[in-house]
């Protein structure tokens, strides 16, 4: 694969809820319509936004994570070509964890410093005018190694409000790429893990088209394109180790949280990925080497999964002779039962003893560093894996031995270490990369 440096921009903000995703999707569509081969990225551990990126521009979106990814793993993602890179941040520009990981603490700012992609700050201007310039100036000067190109001001109340905002930004020496009037109708539906999945959006194409038209009317697109830059000197790229030569991968609305960089890396090293849909009552390919169940929203489809006789029988048959691994939602499906938010119990595959419940919701969120106590497909006992956990389920029972010793990004032990039984393993950890 040819590796080259691509000029880019990072769309970030002072905080979540500032309007980054609307701006990102509108820009991706505008640039694509203008003939630009724009390569999208998502900073941080997010598996929902990249599908929206793909819908907006037609190119697969890849995650960039300074806490979980080494320089080599990042190099394999950042150098994917295109005319221009566009990365969407998560949370605020400088938000990360206290203890650094592979190449940083997980902040969007780390990716900007590494790549030289200038940051465009989406700033919610609600309830302020010139004070917004002080915030933008602080973000532009907080880290000398993080280039800030300018701002897009969002939720601007009136022409007068815009004049005051622009005056303050001019005094602070901050470039304004655009001012977006307040619009209550340009929103994306959400649920407990963030946005609804792209495949579930009632009319995503219409929504993205409206975002693009909105940005064309209010953002200086040529100036944005001219601001794209890079000083990246890529390290030798490192690709993830495939868990098998022929990989049966569950892929549908209940099992959609699989990172694109992992699947793409498996294929790049010659592995064959064989998707199947448990919701369509499909069994894993009988000639696959291993079966992998990623996370997703099985709790929304628990009744369908419990009634998918061919899927469950095929999975149990597969596990008699070959490895099966589940991540988060996939782990729950490998367990004995899943209790939904209404308290109804749904029998799952029974390959592990786990019983999980959404009847009493509790958020589990954050980076995780796991040391495997038993092997999983592609990784032996003792391997250290970096990833994250994000779910609202609770463990009712888990009689099998723990799969891993896990700590969070502050060094605290995480009591939930997954479990394993014979060739079957599972954990709430979403793997991002092997730790160096």
**Active-site residue set:** 328
Say how far apart CA 299 and CA 304 lie, in whole Å: 10
Residues 275, 276, 280: CA angle, nearest 5 degrees: 150
Distance, CA of 70 to chain centre = 17
274 backbone dihedrals φ, ψ, rounded to 5°? -115, 90
Q: Are the beta carbons of 61 and 15 closer than 8 angstroms?
A: no
**What is the DSSP secondary structure assignment for residue 278, as one 8-state letter?**
G
Q: Are strands 424-427 and 324-327 parallel, antiparallel or unpaired?
A: parallel
Residue 89 C-beta-side C-alpha neighbours within 13 Å: 32
Q: Are strands 8-12 and 324-327 parallel, antiparallel or unpaired?
A: unpaired
Q: Which residues contact 89 (CB under 8 A, 6 or more apart)?
A: 10, 11, 12, 13, 20, 43, 44, 108, 119
Q: Are the beta carbons of 132 and 168 closer than 8 angstroms?
A: yes
Say how far apart CA 408 and CA 389 lie, in whole Å: 9
The label of the residue with tokens 């941080």 reads 44
**What is the DSSP secondary structure assignment for residue 410, as one 8-state letter?**
T
List, in sequence order, every residue forming a beta bridge with 293; answer none if it has no partner.
Answer: 326
Say how far apart CA 170 and CA 198 lie, in whole Å: 38
Which 3 state secondary structure label does DSSP give 315? helix
Say how far apart CA 10 and CA 115 lie, in whole Å: 10
């Amino acid at each position: 694969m040819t590796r080259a440096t691509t000029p880019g921009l990072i769309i970030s903000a002072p905080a979540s809820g500032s309007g980054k995703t609307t701006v990102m999707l509108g820009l991706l569509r505008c640039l694509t319509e203008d003939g630009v081969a724009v390569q999208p990225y998502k900073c941080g551990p997010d598996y929902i936004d990249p599908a929206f990126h793909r819908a907006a521009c037609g190119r697969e979106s890849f995650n960039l994570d300074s806490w979980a990814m080494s320089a080599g793993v990042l190099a394999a993602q950042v150098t994917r070509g295109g005319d221009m890179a566009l990365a969407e941040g998560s949370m605020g520009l400088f938000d990360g964890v206290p203890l650094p990981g592979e190449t940083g603490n997980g902040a969007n700012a780390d990716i900007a410093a590494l790549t030289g992609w200038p940051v465009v700050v989406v700033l919610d201007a609600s309830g302020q005018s010139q004070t917004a310039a002080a915030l933008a100036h602080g973000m532009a000067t907080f880290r000398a190694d993080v280039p800030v190109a300018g701002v897009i001001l969002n939720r601007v109340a009136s022409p007068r409000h815009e004049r005051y905002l622009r005056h303050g930004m001019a005094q602070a020496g901050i470039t304004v790429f655009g001012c977006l009037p307040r619009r209550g109708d340009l929103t994306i539906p959400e649920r407990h893990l963030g946005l609804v999945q792209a495949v579930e959006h009632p009319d995503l194409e219409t929504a993205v088209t409206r975002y693009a038209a909105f940005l064309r009317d209010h953002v200086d697109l040529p100036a944005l394109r001219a601001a794209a830059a890079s000083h990246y000197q890529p390290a030798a790229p490192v690709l993830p180790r495939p868990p098998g030569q022929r990989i049966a991968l569950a892929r549908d609305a209940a099992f959609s949280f699989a990172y694109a960089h992992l699947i793409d890396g498996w294929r790049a090293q010659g592995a064959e990925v064989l998707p199947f849909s448990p919701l369509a009552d499909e069994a894993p390919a009988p000639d696959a080497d291993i079966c992998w169940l990623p996370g997703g929203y099985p709790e929304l489809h628990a009744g369908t999964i419990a009634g998918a006789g061919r899927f469950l029988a095929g999975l149990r048959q597969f596990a008699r002779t070959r490895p099966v691994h589940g991540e988060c939602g996939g782990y729950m499906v490998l367990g004995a039962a899943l209790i939904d938010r209404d308290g109804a119990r749904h029998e799952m595959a029974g390959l592990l003893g786990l019983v999980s419940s959404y009847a009493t919701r509790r958020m589990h969120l954050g980076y995780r560093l796991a040391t495997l106590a038993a092997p999983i497909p592609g990784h032996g006992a003792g391997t250290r894996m970096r990833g994250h956990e994000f779910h609202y389920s609770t463990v009712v029972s888990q009689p099998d031995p723990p799969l891993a010793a896990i700590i969070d990004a502050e060094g605290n032990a995480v009591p939930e270490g997954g479990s394993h039984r014979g060739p079957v393993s599972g954990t709430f950890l979403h793997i991002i990369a092997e730790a160096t």
